[in-house]
Structure 1
Amino acid sequence: MTLELLRGTVRPYAWGSRTVIAELTGNPSPAPHPEAELWFGAHPASPSTVDGTALTELLELDAHGHLGTEITERWAGRLPFLIKVLAADEPLSLQAHPSAGLAAEGYAREEAAGIPRDAPERNYPDPTAKPELLCALSEFHALAGFREPRRSVELLRALDCEPLRPYTELLAGQPDEDGLRALFTTFVTLPSSALEQLLPAVVDACVRHVRERGEFDLECRTALELAERYPGDAGILAALLLNRLVLQPGEAIHIAAGNLHAYLRGTAIEILAASDNVLRCGLTPKHVDVPELLRVLDFAADEMPVLKGEQHGAVRRYQTSAEEFELSVAELDGAAARAVLTACGPQILLCTEGTALLRAASGHERVLGKGEAVWSPAKDGDISVTPVEEHIRTTVYRASLPSGQ
């Protein structure tokens, strides 16, 4: 089995688009329901299939044959990464993911407490970390990482909101990680009576700032958008402390453990560790555990690095500190062009533009159309990518383990 078509699964979350994934995969658009994510991988909740057989089942039957001996032993016979097309028409929840150590500890604690793994109040359904890399396919809007504290003080003061002043001065008096932790904790633990007084005043201040075309127009518009969708949610205040990002196609961000973030809108490729561990802060009807969130969060603050990838011929690679994955993309503009994706164990290849001819070092070939993906086991080796249609841009994303594993 080699270069076999991999059938993805659609996750129909309410914040998803009715058009993006449908059009990518050639299905009727608009779709009858929102389609938020298209998953390719061996996640137990929604495994992809090869010839009707779940990838999880194939790995159980022959992990060594699919993953290779070294990777099978390193990752206990499971595929550690998952690649998705993410299509957001509305904001996702404000959230963070635990480190490997905290995930293992939290999982053991909840197992001992007898909390069912599918219980809505469960924080740690598995014992693994969940780093992520998001790479924009369209203009993509996000909140990610705490803004440098002095800059956040400037934003809060620019709102000129009297009820907000004591909180602003709390951070101004200690513009560092500890000050951020204190202000964030204060915001997300405000009694409902205090929140009901503060939030409307902050929203009014944001309206004034936008009308006056103030310096923090984008941040205030975001707060207003969140307030409209989640009225009364303390996450609106927390969002004012985060970096507001607008990614252009090809730009990416790495969401490491403890990084508070919320994806707002746009289409992207997301590659991540195959874990479900999420600690939510707000902007969601789902379970929020503030004490546990505070254990997980990283309050180191600065501008969020935007990755553009390292160019190697026609291939760009997005390298991070994550052990579980690496994202590469082959971008080709004509029939004479060719890219080689160097083998890093098992691979998933996903075509987002054009039509590509894939040739594996093992000798197998496969034509891959827009919206299609293939599973390439470790034995395939390097894979060359060549456009089928002349003068048609062809783009193929590759999910793999990092080089050297």
Structure 2
Amino acid sequence: MSPAPKLFRVIGGAQNYDWGKLGSTSAVARFAKLNDPENVSIDEEKPYAELWMGTHPSVPTVSAQDRTPLRDLVRAAPEEMLGQEIIDKFGSKEGIPFLFKVLSIRKVLSIQAHPDKTLARQLHASDPKHYPDDNHKPEMAIAITDFEAFCGFRPLAEIDALLQKIPEFRELVGDDVATEFHSGVGSADVAGKKRLLQKVFSRVMNSPESKFEPLAASLVERTKADPQLFGETLADLIQRLDAQFPNDIGLFCGCLLLNHCILKSGEAMFLEAKDPHAYISGDIMECMAASDNVIRAGFTPKFKDVEVLVDCLTYSFNPVEEQKLNPAPFPRATGDAELKLYDPPIDEFSVLQTTFTSAGSEKFEGLDGPSLLIVTEGKGKVKLQGSDGALDASTGNVFFVAPRAAIELVSESKDTFTSYRAFCEA
């Protein structure tokens, strides 16, 4: 059997969820078309939400040469495609330990959290229909365009201020819990404050529709009649999301309880297991552990597992700036590009952004695990160091890079040439 190739182009799969951007306005649609022009046509009326890259069986990534699923290629030569260190740490059954995505967001996604490994095993065993695997799902989002999201609970003083001044919020939570929360905000007992936050969240999430729907309608009217009470940004956010999901519980559990995070292109945030979050608008690169487990809270017609959600969250309440993940240098490359390493505190993945703003090249040492690279802007070349042949690498193209394969990216013009490379090392 011939050895597995160390560098080759692959084709990911697009997902057409309702919240995706429509037609050619979606980076997902444009990238999918550019990477597979003979087989992809864009329907301008259709939403294009996610482009999956990896070995997750739900949406296969395939070789561009012969359409063989990447999952099958990895299973046929696991040591060459994953590296023994990755096999020892994560096993080889599921293939690449991470799932890499492009997301193009037109409407808010469901407010959600993901289980840690222990909870994922329990949920998968008891309810495999709603929790299809037993893995955790920490994830990271890197903005390609301006991007907004909910991420983690607001600082408690902010929540308390909203409870004091917004009648609908206080009525939903109840005077008893709102008063108890107000009394405990200044406490030095962090665990006690988390329990109080859990009480507030539980009251919101366990409210029946007959109670929260009229309160949500009243809340929206108040943002129009008295926007100064909320602040311009929050009033606008509530109105925008109500237009997408009228009178939804998410107006309370998202807009009033969670941080509203704005990322500029190149900024990132990391979401640990059991942290509540939701993406609102924009285009991002997303990387996560290879799982599809979601515990939902609001802005969705799908199954909401309220009891599990209320019980499992961390109830951390950090300021929005602390949710962001600052990039680090990447010393294992030399050349002319600007490099930013997004390296979250988990084992399954890191993401490297490489940007050229003029002609030049960048040589990368081999990494001790598999990686997937996508070009998001411009065009250039990618090749194995020391080889004569180079592959065209233009917007939308995706490549698999084998462990320990030293590669070179080449920009041949002054135009911006940007790529993102997700990788795993043990």
Give me the TM-score of the superposition, normalised by structure 2.
Answer: 0.86
Matches within 5 A, 1:322-361: 322-338=346-362, 340=364, 342-361=366-385
Unaligned runs of 5+ in 1: 111-116
Distance 2:124 2:311 in 1: 14
2:301 partner amino acid: P
Change (3 A) 1:205 1:171: farther
CA shift for structure 1 position 236: 1.6
| 2:178 aligned with 1:174 | no
Q: Which residue of 1 aligns with 2:275?
A: 259
Change (3 A) 1:32 1:334: same
Among candidates 138, 143, 150, match of residue 150 of structure 2: 143
Among candidates 215, 223, 234, match of residue 198 of structure 1: 215
| 2:170 aligned with 1:154 | no
Matches within 5 A, 1:204-353: 204-210=221-227, 212=228, 214=229, 216-239=231-254, 240-304=256-320, 305-312=323-330, 314-338=338-362, 340=364, 342-353=366-377
Local SS of the residue matching 1:300: coil
Distance 1:401 1:54 in 2: 20
CA shift for structure 1 position 30: 5.8
CA shift for structure 1 position 339: 5.1
Q: Which residue of 2 aligns with 1:114?
A: none
Once superposed, what is the RMSD of the aligned Cα atoms? 2.1
CA shift for structure 1 position 100: 1.1
Is contact 2:184–2:196 with CA below 8 Å preserved after alignment? yes
Show CA shifts across 1:252-282 (max 9, x none): 0101011101100100000111101100011
Change (3 A) 1:339 1:394: farther
2:123 partner amino acid: G
Change (3 A) 1:158 1:387: farther
Q: Which residue of 2 aligns with 1:113?
A: none
Distance 1:335 1:322 in 2: 35
Distance 2:138 2:15 in 1: 20
Distance 2:386 2:402 in 1: 11
Distance 2:161 2:268 in 1: 27
Distance 2:217 2:181 in 1: 21
Show CA shifts across 1:192-249 (max 9, x none): 3322442223222222342x3x563222322222222222322221111100011000
Among candidates 118, 122, 137, match of residue 130 of structure 1: 137
Is contact 2:384–2:390 with CA below 8 Å preserved after alignment? yes
| 2:71 aligned with 1:56 | yes
CA shift for structure 1 position 185: 0.3
* Structure 1, 149-158 or 41-50: larger mean CA deviation: 149-158
Among candidates 205, 220, 223, match of residue 188 of structure 1: 205
Distance 1:341 1:387 in 2: 18
Is contact 1:315–1:341 with CA below 8 Å preserved after alignment? no
Is contact 2:368–2:404 with CA below 8 Å preserved after alignment? no
Distance 1:186 1:154 in 2: 17
Change (3 A) 1:310 1:379: closer
Is contact 1:170–1:183 with CA below 8 Å preserved after alignment? no
Is contact 1:136–1:267 with CA below 8 Å preserved after alignment? yes
Q: Which residue of 2 aligns with 1:44?
A: 57
Distance 1:344 1:221 in 2: 47
CA shift for structure 1 position 294: 1.8
Distance 1:372 1:326 in 2: 20
CA shift for structure 1 position 3: 1.7
Identity %: 28
Unaligned runs of 5+ in 2: 186-192, 331-336
Matches within 5 A, 1:96-115: 96-110=113-127
* Structure 1, 138-147 or 170-179: larger mean CA deviation: 170-179
Local SS of the residue matching 2:77: helix
Local SS of the residue matching 2:253: helix
Distance 1:152 1:377 in 2: 48
